Each structure stands twice: as structure tokens, then as C-alpha cells.
Amino acid sequence: MSKLTFLYQMDLSHRAVAVYTYLYDRANKNGECWPSVKTIAGDIKLSPATVRRAIKDLKRTGLIKTKQRYREQGGKSSLLFKIEL
């Protein structure tokens, strides 16, 4: 049985399942990864807007948390995604 079987038993959209699986696959041992929305969208063949909606769905269900990362000069960098296992 897969570690992600619980995903298929939840009432999640296909976009949320795809994005969660992507993040889960790329997370380090602490459950963290930081791909850009554009990278996620390109890799799983969804639009950036669809990926952003999926991220909102996943945050609402408590499956992930996000934290904005910043560059040394103060500009925004990619989000840090934390998988809530």
C-alpha cells in the first residue's frame, strides 16, 4: 500500500492531488522543498493559476504549509513548502 493512499480517500481535486504528489516527491527528509509555481506548472503540465489554486486547496486542508522566502537584498524568492505528514 502506498504512503499516499490517504490522498485518494480525501475529497481533493485532481489538481491538488497532482501538486501534493509533486511536492511530496521533491521534499527533503524534513518535508520541505521550494520549487517555484512556474517550475511546478511546467513539470506537471498545469497552468500557474491552476497550481496556485491547488496550493490554496492543500493549505486549506492542512496538508501543506507555506512560508515566503526572501533574498538577501530583500526581494521575494520562491515559497518554502512544508509537507505536513
Domains of the chain: 5-83 (1.10.10.10)
pLDDT in tens, 27-66: 999 999 999 999 999 999 999 999 999 999 999 999 999 9
Residue 81 confidence (pLDDT): 97
Residue whose C-alpha is closest to residue 52's, from 11, 81, 25, 83: 81
Q: Please, how many CA atoms are within 13 Å of residue 33, restricted to the half-sphere of its CB?
A: 20
The whole-angstrom separation of Cα 76 and Cα 14 is 29
pLDDT in tens, 7-26: 888 999 999 999 999 999 99
pLDDT in tens, 56-77: 999 999 999 999 989 888 888 8
